[in-house]
């Protein structure tokens, strides 16, 4: 650790400088990192996206709980609630191909009319698989079995890719809103999986 004391800005506060701005964390003015350890890992042989659609948020949470219980987590696994799922559908580019449009309509009919999913309740899980071809194949089969157990249906690889692109795009939507005096922010919460629904309901006031 190297400490540099010259020209310290003490700030205007009567209580002196904020310790968080002095030496703590990556934004400190006194602390200088002099040594780091870098670990290098080979790129995975296979990287593949996937997704599942569930009738409700509760079904999705049960799916996540079972994945954790069986210790078969893929490289990344995210659950989008209905609001984020619907926003993603609204932001999709217009389908110009007749066959793509027909496929989308048939999928919607299958979900809502045949399987009984409700548009205002359904959610989606997005997945990234990484590893050897054999490992990815095993992961896909395990997660498909668990998803089926909790009422999930395959959403396809393209939907998985789109879900992750949407996650990164949300920050830019916030920036766009600020141009029109609309403020928004996100926060992270760590909670036990059995408490996550209660936490979300308490914060948002919405039923899941």
DSSP state of 111: I
Write the pLDDT tens digit of every residue in 71-91: 999 999 999 888 887 877 766
Structural contact between residues 157 and 21, judged by C-beta atoms closer than 8 angstroms: no
Residue 208 binned pLDDT confidence (cut-offs 50, 70, 90): low
To the question of whether residue 29 is assigned a binding role by annotation, the answer is yes
Average the pLDDT over 8-18 and give the result: 57
To the question of whether residue 32 is assigned a binding role by annotation, the answer is yes
To the question of whether residue 28 is assigned a binding role by annotation, the answer is yes
CATH architecture, range 46-204: 2-Layer Sandwich (3.30)
Structural contact between residues 67 and 143, judged by C-beta atoms closer than 8 angstroms: yes
To the question of whether residue 33 is assigned a binding role by annotation, the answer is yes
What interhelical angle do 57-70 and 196-204 show, nearest 10?
Answer: 150
To the question of whether residue 27 is assigned a binding role by annotation, the answer is yes
- Its pTM surpasses 0.75: no
| Residue 56: strand pairing partners | none
Please give the radius of gyration of the chain, using alpha carbons only, rounded to the nearest integer. Answer: 23
- Assess whether pLDDT exceeds 60 at residue 165: yes
To the question of whether residue 31 is assigned a binding role by annotation, the answer is yes
Task: Tell me which H or E stretch contains 149.
Answer: helix 133-149
Full 3-state SS string of 8-42? CCCCCCCCCCCHHHCCCCCCCCCEECCCCCCCCCC
Please tell me the distance from the alpha carbon of residue 136 to that of residue 129, in angstroms, as a whole number.
6
- Dihedral of the CA atoms 151, 110, 100, 140 (nearest 10)? 20
Residues of the chain with CATH 3.30.70.3450: 46-204
To the question of whether residue 66 is assigned a binding role by annotation, the answer is no
Residue 156 binned pLDDT confidence (cut-offs 50, 70, 90): confident
């Amino acid at each position: 650790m190297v400490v540099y004391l010259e020209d310290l800005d003490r700030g205007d506060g009567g209580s002196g400088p904020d310790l968080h701005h002095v030496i703590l964390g990556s934004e400190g003015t006194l602390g200088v990192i002099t040594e780091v350890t870098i670990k290098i890992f080979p790129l995975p042989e296979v990287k593949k996206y996937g997704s599942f659609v569930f009738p409700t948020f509760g079904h999705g949470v049960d799916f996540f709980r079972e994945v954790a219980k069986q210790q078969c987590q893929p490289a990344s696994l995210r659950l989008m609630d209905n609001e984020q799922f619907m926003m993603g559908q609204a932001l999709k580019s217009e389908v110009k191909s007749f066959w793509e449009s027909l496929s989308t309509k048939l999928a919607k009919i299958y979900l809502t009319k045949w399987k009984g999913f409700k548009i205002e309740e359904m959610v989606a899980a997005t997945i990234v698989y990484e590893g050897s071809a054999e490992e990815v194949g095993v992961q896909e089969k395990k997660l498909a079995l668990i998803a089926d157990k909790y009422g999930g249906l395959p959403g396809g690889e393209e939907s998985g890719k789109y879900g992750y692109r949407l996650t990164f795009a949300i920050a830019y939507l916030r920036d766009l809103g600020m141009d029109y005096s609309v403020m928004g922010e996100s926060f992270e919460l760590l909670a036990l999986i059995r408490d996550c629904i209660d936490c979300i309901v308490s914060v948002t006031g919405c039923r899941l």
